[in-house]
Structure formats: structure tokens, C-alpha cells
Chains A and B, each alone.
Chain A
Amino acid sequence: MSLHMRISLIFLTILAGLLLAWGVVRAAPDTLAASVLPTPTPLPDQPAVDPPDISLIDSPTASCVLPRANTGVCFVTWSYMYASADPNYIITMTVGIDDKARGRYNGFFQTSMYVPSELLVFRVACGAPGSGGNPNYGMNHSYTLRARDSSGLSAANYGSVTCPTDEPRRIYLPVLSK
């Protein structure tokens, strides 16, 4: 068989194949389309959003105490402060009183953080009677507790404490004349 004959035969075979395929598609367009592109099943309902891993901060018993009268010095403290971010790590917890940062607690490869009351003692001014709005008490001090975990989530507690009223005792010295 000559080379020209062979090339012609190959060309003819390809052409016949293409024609056959086109004929099949034309003859059964619906069934083919149905089998190739079946009706999609309805999408499932959107799953509920997973709750964040970090917990609310547990900071019970926000207190303001006056250990010594006539000093004007009160102390803000809590029973404890606790947050969990399991399985993420807790990076920091912070304490701010009256918009001033007063304490920072850094996590060290820990998924939860517990800060005992002894590490949560912050000196504040007690204030004059009624300085916080209540005539029986002293000043109000606002506080913010924040926690942040290794996945970038954070939690915060906002509140205020009312202190007992107290002011430093004034000692009046006698006026001595020459």
C-alpha cells in the first residue's frame, strides 16, 4: 500500500469517527444531557456557625475594699479571673481600670488561664461621699478585663465597682506666733 493511500485511509477513519459521534449526540440529546448533567440535588441547609473556642471570662466578685480607714486608699480586686481557649493557647489577659492598663498576664503554652486574687490587687482612690453618685459610698471605678487566644479570638468583661468612701485624715498643725 502506498503512503498516499495510508494517509487517506487514516483521514477517512478519523472523519467517520467524528461523524458517528456527532450523529449519536444529535440522535439522543435529551438522554445524554440528562445522564451527563443530572438535576442537582438541593443544597443542604447552611450548617450552624461553630461557637468560638475562647470562653467568656469568669471574673466573679468584683470588689473595692478599704483596708485602713483615713488613708483614702482602696483596693479593687476579684475573687479570681479565668478564661479557657482550649484547644488554642491563651496569649494574654489584661486588666484596665479607669481606662488605664494595670495588669498584663501572659500565657505560656497554656490553653486556659487562672489568675488568683492575690495577683489582682489594684490601688485606687476611695473618694469623697457621693463622688460616685451614691451619698453612702465613694467613687465608681470602671474596669475592662480582656483575654486573647492564639487564633485571634478575644473575650472581654466590662463593669464597674463602687468603693467605700474615705479620705486621708487631715492633720491641722497649730499656728505658732513668734
Chain B
Amino acid sequence: MLRAASRFLHGRNAFYVSLLLLPPLLWLGTVYLGSLFALLAQSFYAIDEFTARVVPELTLATYRQLVTQPANVDIVLRTVAMAVAVTIACGIVAFPVANYMARHAGPKMKAFFYVGVMLPMWTSYLVKVYAWRLILAKQGIVAWGFESAGATAVLEHALATPVVGGPSLSSSYLGMFIVFVYMWLPFMILPLAAALERVPASLLQASADLGARPGQTFRNVVLPLALPGLAAGSVFTFSLTLGDYIIPSVVGAPGYFIGMMVYQQQGTAGNLPLAAAFSVVPIVLIGLYLTLARRLGAFDAL
């Protein structure tokens, strides 16, 4: 039976491909795209102010509310600022690790580093967030470390800084920033290491032979060639920060983030149109970011 079917299919390439594609496309088309469409539709629906029920009546009122209410604009700006800060920090912290992994480590060491980066990346997301809450808590390890080093004043000074500070690290923007950087760091290290691995050793040799100091070689040869990796990694760190709603609610200051707003509006507030409109913001921002990165030629070498 199967044999007869495969004989029939052989040589009918287009038919064969479409037969294979039908089930997965049907699934993604109905379940996923259908849902995305339903989400988009919701963002244009009206909400009855008296009954708080969603009325399937097309309106731009929700988007108007999103862009004109200062509180909502603040949420978007706060989230974007955090995403940008986290992306830059991830790039800086990831570079030495990726560089060592890609260009200095022997095959055994490389495998060790690869597993060493991959394991924490795949370790339970919630458990990692929870671990950071323990670490950053008032009596947690970080506070203990500062105390043992006799540097409690330094920590207190950092926490007293306006905006980024707070009563403890686990309830401040500073703490939230550390957790975000930790969570998305592997997503930056892996593409960056892949890009650095493709930098030909002969180019570095040539640069050195022509009299460049290591710093100059780094700036003028390594960094431009690593750009596609940095760009790929930054897409992850930027997009993951924009959409996260659990980290800001577990570790963080009272200010709202886009993700928290989406979760709260669809849940307790029961305002699905506003939640949907808020969730369109990351899609637009990521689209803008990708276009910008492409304009700057970040993907040319990919």
C-alpha cells in the first residue's frame, strides 16, 4: 500500500510536496495564523463602557487610547528603554565568552563552552527567575556578599540611586535589568560565537603584519565581521525583553511593562481590545528594528 503510494508519488514532485506540506500548513494556518488574525481583529473592536463587554464593531478608539494616554506611552517607552539597555549589556558581556569560545578554545574546550552556554539557556525559565529572586532578596546572596566584603554601603548607595534603585535589588529596575541580561545572555553568545568562528585567521594575521595593534585589529577587522552575529543576537535579546511579562512582575519596580499590561488587561481588567493593541506594539517595534538592522547591512554576511 505504502509502496504503491510512493511509486505513484515519485515523479510527481509538486504534488508530493503539497501533500507533505498540507498537514503542517493546515495546522499553522488555522491554529496559528487564525489566532493572530483573531488577535488583530480584537485590537480594532470596541468595548462597551457600561457593560465592559467587547463589541465586534470596528473602531480605532483603542489605538487612540494607546498613543494618547501618557501612562500608556510611558509603559511603551519604559519597555523600549529596558530592551535597549539589556541588548547593549548582553553584547558587552557576551563578547569575551563568544570570542574565547570561537577563536581561542581547542576542540574539547569549545565543546565544554558550548554545553556550558546551552545548558543554562535550556534550564527552566521560571526556575531561573525564581533563583534570581532568592539571590537578589534583602537577605540573599548578593547582599551577603557585599556585607562579607564590608561593602554594604556600596550596595545601599546603588539602591538609593533615583529611578534604577529601590528598597532591595529584587524590587528595583537595577535588579530587573540584571535578571534580563542573565536570561538572554546565551541567545547573544551563540550567534556571536558562530559569527566570530567565521572570521578567517589570515585576516588577523594580515592586520597584524601591516602593523595594527591588537586594539586596532579588533576595531577595524573583528568587530565589523562580528556585526551579523551581534545583530542576530540583538534581535533575540530585544524581542524577548519587549514581550516578557513574568520577570517584571517577579523581580522589579512598580512601573508597568508592555507584557504585564497585556497580561493584566486580558485577565483581571477584562479589556481584550486594549491587550491586543498593546501586543501589536512589540510586533511593530521588532519589525522596525529588523528593517533598521537590514538598512545598516547587519544581515549582509548572514
Chains A and B come from one and the same complex: no
